[in-house]
Amino acid sequence: MTPQHSERGLILAPQGRDATVAQAMLGEAGLPGAIAHSVPELVALLAEGAGFALVTEEALAGADLNPLAAWIQDQPEWSDFPFVLLTQRGGGLERNPEATRYLQVLGNVTFLERPFHPTTLVSFARSAVRGRRRQYEARARLEELHQLATGLEQRVEERTAEHRVAVAQLHEAQKLETLGQLTGGVAHDFNNLLTPIMGALDMLRRKYGDQDARSARLIDNALQSADRARTLVQRLLGFARRQTLETKALDVGGLIDGMRDLIASSVGPEIELRIRHEADLPAATADPNQLELAILNLCVNARDAMDGNGTLTIVADEVAFGPGSQPRLTPGLYVRLSVIDTGCGMDAETLARAVEPFYSTKETGRGTGLGLSMVHGLAAQLGGGFALSSEPGQGTRADLYLKVADAKVARGPAERRQPPLLANGRALSVLLVDDEDLVRIGTAEMIRDLGHEVTHASGGAEALARLEAGLRPDVVITDYKMPRMDGAELAKRVRDTLSDVPILLITGYTGTTENTHHLPRLPKPFGQAEIAAALAALVEPDDKVVRLPGRRRP
């Protein structure tokens, strides 16, 4: 393998300009690409080295796949080469029998159904490269193991055992990375769909809720369903590690004490609840809202495992980890939050799959199968860990590890002022930029309904053209994930010419956003009250992050 080719993307798309367009998309994202014109040429390029392969379904149809299958079969044990297969509309496994054949041939394959957003393609490609890098790291570790195995039989056996563990952990990490990328992409699309739905329902309730009681109930029910969908999306993002956390030094003992009544009412009166924590427990780094949700999820799972009768114990203590300890965490001090039940327990097979999203042993209608996966994703995003231990008939122990915070717990936070519906009662000139038509149109209508003027653009280039033509808005609102020019780059270009114009970033999921920390952010989906509060905060800012008021029901 040639080192300079180790992370390039190979493109097999023989029809029209598909290959050239795909190569250009990847190139704009900083991913090098090489085009193959046939399956044999693809195999030859694979032998030289690559990070992933992007293949269209029609390129494989009718082709002799034996050379490609032989190359995949002959991969070294550390390698599980990733493929991204572009299928036609309706090309999922359940509707496309050919897709099953490609799954059997290609092995590590992710299906991307056309048409798709360019951002989605880039996201899939980057995820594949990250997985390939882990394989290269595993190769380095395996080579080191082989070098250290000098001939002593005992040492060879020990290194072989370590090798098996490393390969198993690699495959598990690859599986979770793929599942996380997939769920994150789905959640992003759902956020874009929910935003215009919630906005339209908000405006309908304001205009007609007082006129017709039956319509008000129907609209309110729809808004409650939208809120439940938003919660489900946040859990998906929690597993995918793409929600923005507001971490701080947190008194974990005080938090679980404050949740006692909520937990007791959630698990029921037949379950005995015990809460213990050390008096001098140090502060932990966590997001309090997400941590409360994680604890509640663990307690509800414990309740179901005990079938409504047993003992639920919640313990918080301080633990220290050194190199090579289990679970594998960065050496240091942690606050361990344990939820222990006396329920039915889990066998080895169930325990191995417990954190997979949508996996559940409960009957249909009881739970989404996202509770434990959300906790797992939250722990990883906070730099901690999550571990389950269980045996049939012996109950289950869930341990959530949180890093000890450097700072002390803040006491007595100041009460925040709720912003008015209309910022200072005056009309604003707003430039709205979003590449999704439904989101852009729905958001524009919400803002106009508040009494403001809106000029909208479908991308960064169009927005800059309007500014160059003389548009001088009071506020710029832009989506983050857009093709060719994202919201962070657009904000930088706007600030070069209009340094005093407030800029609001709206986003379904942001992933890694170090370059946007200076911008106020409004998460999708949002309703009319949320966008009104965000506009008010821009006119009279008192924080860098827009904090939304709770949704109120009539």
CATH classification for the domain delimited by 3-148, as one of 3.40.50.2300, 3.20.19.10, 3.30.360.10, 1.10.645.10: 3.40.50.2300
Residue 32 pLDDT: 92
Helix axes 437-449, 528-539, angle to 10 degrees: 70
Beta strand 429-433 pairing with 453-457: parallel
Q: Is the pLDDT of residue 269 over 60?
A: yes
Highest mean pLDDT among 225-229, 353-357, 511-515: 225-229
Give the Cα separation of 183 and 539 in Å (integer). Answer: 36
| Residue bearing the bigger pLDDT, 90 or 63 | 63
User: pLDDT above 70 covers what percent of the chain?
Assistant: 77
Q: How confident is the model at residue 308 (pLDDT cuts 50, 70, 90)?
A: confident
pLDDT of residue 177: 58
* pLDDT of the residue at 510: 46
More confident: 513 or 440: 440
**So what's the pLDDT on residue 552?**
36
Question: Does pLDDT of 313 surpass 70?
Answer: yes
Indicate if the pLDDT at residue 81 is higher than 90: yes
Buried-state track 304-341, b at ≥16 Cβ within 10 A, e below 16: bbbeeebebbbbbebeebeeeeeeebeeeebbbbbbbb
Phi and psi angles of residue 471, each rounded to the nearest 5 degrees, phi first: -65, 130
Beta strands in 57-167 (DSSP E): 83-87, 109-113
Enumerate residues 6+ apart whose C-beta is below 8 A from 357: 179, 183, 236, 239, 369, 370, 373
Tell me, what's the pLDDT at 341? 92
Within 13 A of 82's CA, how many CA atoms are on the CB side? 27
Which candidate, 68, 49, 168, places its Cα nearest to that of 109?
Answer: 68
Under a CB-based contact definition with an 8 Å cutoff, are residues 425 and 356 in contact?
A: no
Class of domain 252-403: alpha beta
pLDDT at 553 over 50: no
What is the pLDDT at residue 170? 64
pLDDT at 548: 40
Closest CA to 375 of 366, 390, 388, 364: 388
Nearest-angstrom CA–CA distance, 331 and 319 = 11
Model confidence pLDDT, tens digit, residues 242-266: 455 678 888 999 999 988 887 888 7
> In the predicted model, is pLDDT for residue 362 greater than 60?
no
Q: Is the pTM of this model over 0.85?
A: no
pLDDT tens digits along 145-180: 777 765 666 677 777 777 776 676 566 556 555 655
Q: Looking at residues 118-137, what average pLDDT do you find?
A: 90
Across 191-213, average pLDDT: 76
Within 8 A by CB and 6+ apart from 487, the residues are: 433, 460, 478, 479, 480, 481, 505, 507, 516, 519
pLDDT digits (tens, 9 = 90+) for 384-433: 888 888 889 889 999 999 999 887 765 543 333 333 445 455 788 999 99
The domain 423-539: what is its CATH number? 3.40.50.2300
Q: How far lies 322's CA from each of 225, 319, 331, 387, in Å?
A: 46, 10, 5, 17
Mean pLDDT of the chain: 79
SS3 per-residue string spanning 461-530: HHHHHHHHCCCCCCEEEEECCCCCCCHHHHHHHHHHHCCCCCEEEEECCCCCCHHHCCCCEEECCCCHHH
Domain boundary assignment for the chain: 3-148, 186-240, 252-403, 423-539
The reported pLDDT for the residue numbered 278 is 86
Question: How much is the pLDDT for 16?
Answer: 83
**Greatest mean pLDDT among 278-282, 306-310, 328-332, 408-412:** 278-282
Return the pLDDT at 1. Answer: 61
The reply to whether domains 3-148 and 423-539 share a CATH topology is yes
Place of tokens 């989906």: 525
Residue 468 backbone dihedrals phi, psi, to 5 degrees: -65, -25
What span, in angstroms and rounded, lies between the C-alpha atoms of 418 and 431?
24
Terminal-residue alpha carbon distance, the chain: 65
DSSP-derived secondary structure for 8-58: PEEEE--STTHHHHHHHHHHHTT--EEEESSHHHHHHHHHH--SEEEEEHH
Q: Looking at residues 323-331, what average pLDDT do you find? A: 77
206-226: pLDDT as tens digits = 777 677 777 777 777 777 777
CA dist 34 and 132 (Å) reads: 17
Distance of CA 227 to the CA centre of its chain: 18
pLDDT at res. 305: 86
Distance CA 139, CA 137 (A): 5
- Rounded-to-integer distance, Cα 554 and Cα 552, Å: 7
Read off the pLDDT of residues 39-65 as tens digits, 9 standing for 90 and up.
999 999 999 999 999 999 888 888 899
The reported pLDDT for the residue numbered 12 is 94
pLDDT band at 527 (very low <50, low <70, confident <90, very high): confident
Q: How confident is the model at residue 237 (pLDDT cuts 50, 70, 90)?
A: low
Asked if 466 and 454 touch (Cβ cutoff 8 Å), the reply is no
The C-alpha atoms of residue 51 and residue 480 are separated, in whole angstroms, by 27
More confidently predicted of 270 and 1: 270
pLDDT on residue 183? 53
Tell me, what's the pLDDT at 414? Answer: 38
Which pLDDT score is estimated for 530?
A: 84
Q: Which residue has the higher pLDDT, 425 or 472?
A: 472
> Of the spans 207-221, 349-363, 461-475, which averages the highest pLDDT?
461-475
Sign of torsion over alpha carbons 76, 80, 84, 88: positive
pLDDT > 90? residue 358:
no
Q: Are 464 and 497 in contact (CB under 8 A)?
A: no
pLDDT value for 44: 93
Question: Does residue 235 have a pLDDT over 70?
Answer: no
The length of the chain in residues reads 554
Is the pLDDT assigned to residue 22 strictly greater than 60?
yes
Residue 340 has pLDDT above 90, yes or no: yes
